[in-house]
Amino acid sequence: MRLLTYNIHKGIGSDRRYRLERIIEVIQEQAPDLVCLQEVDRHVRRSHYHDQPSLLAHRLGAKAHLFQLNVPHHEGGYGNLILSRWPFRNECQVSIRHRRRKPRGAQLVVVETAQGPLHLINWHLGLREKERRWQAFHLLNHGSFLEFAHLPTIIAGDFNDWRNTLGKHHFLHHGFRHATAPIRRFRSFPSFLAVASLDKIYYRGDIAIHHAAIVRTPLARLASDHLPLVLDFHLAKPTTITDDAAVSPA
């Protein structure tokens, strides 16, 4: 299976032009099964009032998709989007806004993959280290996360973790492994001259990692201010879940 995580910057490239078609082409070239996107616009003037979640789901042939509006802007706004070639068994969206900082969110879904259920989290963390530490603690101890903690779990997205401290402070203590290390190989921002490893993936449970890489094609350098990150993996031991494990959207 292949997962792609990508901060698409509302479809505005490093040339400051809005071209959603470039984002679509970059993603299509990687042929992912699962897509975690951040900064996805819906009904905003700067992106021609496009409904990007619907457009992306249609153009990329998603079997299931889930949009989370985090930052309202007039009649629209932007947020996170998960696309999948398989249906979702459960879905939940959690606010991880810290005090009066910019609204942030995390999406939690159980994907019924061909190899068994996968607990997948897509998020976009804040700009301050204290804020990010609170957000990681909040998610890892949230009831909606703990409900499916027994399943193979992947946490992907824009961590904004410039100093790369969340692993030792939070994820390693919860049994997670870092798929995007060493960080010098996974620099994703800014796209035209990447120096920071902001886009990351952590995983836990019966997951075997085959390959992880930053996409550095000429088009990817142009399409957004971040470069996409891809992960090839498989579930080592397919797991089943029961009907009483349902979670209602928050």
Domain boundaries, the chain: 2-236
Q: With contact defined as beta carbons under 8 Å apart, do 65 and 49 qualify?
A: no
State whether residue 219 is helix, strand or coil: helix
Q: Which is nearest to 156 in space by CA: 134, 127, 131, 186?
A: 186
pLDDT for residue 75: 86
pLDDT for residue 224: 98
For 60, residues 6+ apart whose C-beta sits below 8 A from its C-beta are 24, 27, 28, 35, 83
pLDDT for residue 244: 41
Buried/exposed 136-166: b ≥16 CB within 10 Å, e otherwise: bebbbebebbebbeebbbbbbbbbbbeebeb
CATH topology (fold) of 2-236: Deoxyribonuclease I; Chain A (3.60.10)
The DSSP call for residue 250 is -
pLDDT for residue 238: 55
* Reported pTM: 0.93
Torsion region of 43: left, alpha or beta (phi above 0 gives left; psi -120 to 50 gives alpha) = left
pLDDT for residue 246: 36
**Mean pLDDT for back-to-back runs of 10 residues, the chain (250 residues):** 98 98 98 98 97 98 98 93 98 96 97 98 97 97 98 98 93 96 96 97 98 98 98 81 38
